[in-house]
Amino acid sequence: MIDKTTSILFLLIASSAVLVQCEENATDSFLPLKKAEHCDIEQCQLPNCRCSGLRLPSTDFKGHEKEIPQLITVTFDDAVNVVNYDYYQKLFDGLVNPDNCSARGTFYVSHEYTDYTLVNALYQQGHEIALHSVTHGTGTDYWRDADVERLMAEFGEQIEMLVKFAKVNRKHIRGMRLPFLQISGNNTYEAGKRLGLLYDSSWPTQRYTSPAMWPYTLDYRSRQDCQIGPCPNAAIPGFWVSPMVSWFDTAGYSCAMIDGCIYPPKDDVDAMFNWMMENFKRHYDGNRTPFGMYLHAAWFQRGRHYFEAFRKFLLHVNTLPDVYLTTVSRVIHYMKHPNLGKPFMGCPKKPQATCIKRNCGLRKMETGEIRYMNVCDSCPSVYPWLGNPLGRNEYY
């Protein structure tokens, strides 16, 4: 017993010595995380701090809920390629928001099977390009157990790839979503912050759907229900959570992503359209929290009328004078600078990023197979992967 206590004591002394050493070398963002405290509204002020919860973006909005612009975020996950690109083009075709800016979506891109020239095209059209990791992992355990180092590699190297192969400006990459929505407690958010990102959108809420929860920062303890834990309990100042407010299917089950709804309506344009309207109205006729439409393009192939119904819904909401189809990072921008009526000043500039398409046949070193990959400007030497994001030869 004494032995055990002694060794624990030694361990404690040893680890505190390590801690002191780390602190001496650390810059601000590398200090040990502090436990998140109860949110203090007086201390937590916009633009860089917001308590989690149902409070309107500004106290001036009370009684003016109907003047809060209704923001809608349409987001897609996974590889961007010829299989899904046409859907994206048809979906947003001709949609213009009430402020005369084009309707836009957010793409959480993972590396494998991605055609980076098509990512470049989406980027130049003004869509948001965000992160969904290099490997997408092999299952939820990989992500649940991920430490900060693994997460920084998976998301940081995907940034390098998007910059190099799709010519996306580093500063336009602002957000992340974990594969399988599997977060790993504080690690996810610490990695996001260290990578210089603005927000994560992986955390579903079933409890706060009506009224729904607004995006918030992790300066203080989150009130959000933890559906797919572990959830964070540390203070990660200035880093935003864009909660995935659940939908409900026809049997009343909640779904974080549309394609996760187990009992969608029958495969009929009007039935699907009415169902989308029902989900939308919880926001539009309620507190006007951003309405998320989260899915994978494969969902459009699940029913003959799914795409048509989705497009019909977008065409309809696009006729409403106070509805804006925009990106998740623009929603965070709005949360920082909320106002009634028009949500934004002017339209975001469409980036210029000329891309000369190259089709590259590359050896995937892990398996030896040849992979074809379209990139901008020049081919890498080998198939890029975790640990060698730019596909350089000298790594082998």
Q: CB–CB of 211/366 below 8 Å?
A: no
Question: According to the binding rule CB under 5 A, does residue 137 interact with Zn ion?
Answer: no
When binding is defined by CB under 5 A, the residue of 78, 128, 157, 249 that contacts Zn ion is 78
Distance CA 303, CA 322 (A): 31
Neighbours of 382 (CB within 10 A): 19
Give me the least distance between CB of 132 and Zn ion, in Å please: 6
Give me the least distance between CB of 170 and Zn ion, in Å please: 22
**Comparison of 78 and 128: residue with beta carbon closer to Zn ion:** 78
**Comparison of 77 and 219: residue with beta carbon closer to Zn ion:** 77
Tokens describing residue 151: 């997460």
**Comparison of 179 and 192: residue with beta carbon closer to Zn ion:** 179
Rule CB under 5 A: which of 338-367 touch Zn ion?
Answer: none
Amino acid at the residue 198: L
Site string for Zn ion, 218-247 (x = CB under 5 A): ------------------------------
**Comparison of 175 and 179: residue with beta carbon closer to Zn ion:** 179
In terms of Cβ atoms closer than 10 Å to its own Cβ (0-12, 13-18, 19+), residue 71 is: buried
Give me the least distance between CB of 180 and Zn ion, in Å please: 7
**Comparison of 80 and 152: residue with beta carbon closer to Zn ion:** 80
CA atoms within 13 A on the CB side of 368: 0
Q: CB–CB of 135/385 below 8 Å?
A: yes
Q: CB–CB of 164/173 below 8 Å?
A: no
Give me the least distance between CB of 218 and Zn ion, in Å please: 23
**Comparison of 179 and 204: residue with beta carbon closer to Zn ion:** 179
**Comparison of 300 and 344: residue with beta carbon closer to Zn ion:** 300
Give me the least distance between CB of 110 and Zn ion, in Å please: 6
The contacts of residue 276 (CB under 8 Å, 6+ apart) are 293, 309, 310, 313
Give me the least distance between CB of 137 and Zn ion, in Å please: 9
Q: CB–CB of 135/111 below 8 Å?
A: yes
Handedness of CA 304, 310, 311, 316 (dihedral sign): positive
When binding is defined by CB under 5 A, the residue of 77, 154, 190, 219 that contacts Zn ion is 77
Neighbours of 85 (CB within 10 A): 17
Q: How many residues form the binding site for Zn ion (CB under 5 A)?
A: 3
**Comparison of 112 and 308: residue with beta carbon closer to Zn ion:** 112
Q: Give, as one character, the DSSP assignment of residue 283.
A: H
CA atoms within 13 A on the CB side of 1: 0
**Comparison of 76 and 208: residue with beta carbon closer to Zn ion:** 76
Give me the least distance between CB of 77 and Zn ion, in Å please: 4
Task: Specify the stretch interacting with Zn ion by CB under 5 A; choose among 77-85, 259-267, 310-318, 349-357.
Answer: 77-85
The b/e string for 263-279 (b: 16+ C-beta within 10 A; e otherwise) is ebbeeebeebbebbeeb
Q: Give, as one character, the DSSP assignment of residue 91.
A: H
Give me the least distance between CB of 193 and Zn ion, in Å please: 22
**Comparison of 179 and 391: residue with beta carbon closer to Zn ion:** 179
The contacts of residue 145 (CB under 8 Å, 6+ apart) are 184
Give me the least distance between CB of 348 and Zn ion, in Å please: 26
Site string for Zn ion, 27-66 (x = CB under 5 A): ----------------------------------------
Rule CB under 5 A: which of 144-183 touch Zn ion?
Answer: 179
Give me the least distance between CB of 75 and Zn ion, in Å please: 11
Residue with the shortest CB distance to Zn ion:
77
The contacts of residue 254 (CB under 8 Å, 6+ apart) are 204, 206, 209, 246, 247, 248
Distance CA 54, CA 40 (A): 15
Distance CA 339, CA 71 (A): 12
Task: Specify the stretch interacting with Zn ion by CB under 5 A; choose among 78-86, 252-260, 270-278, 310-318.
Answer: 78-86
Binding site for Zn ion (CB under 5 A): 77-78, 179
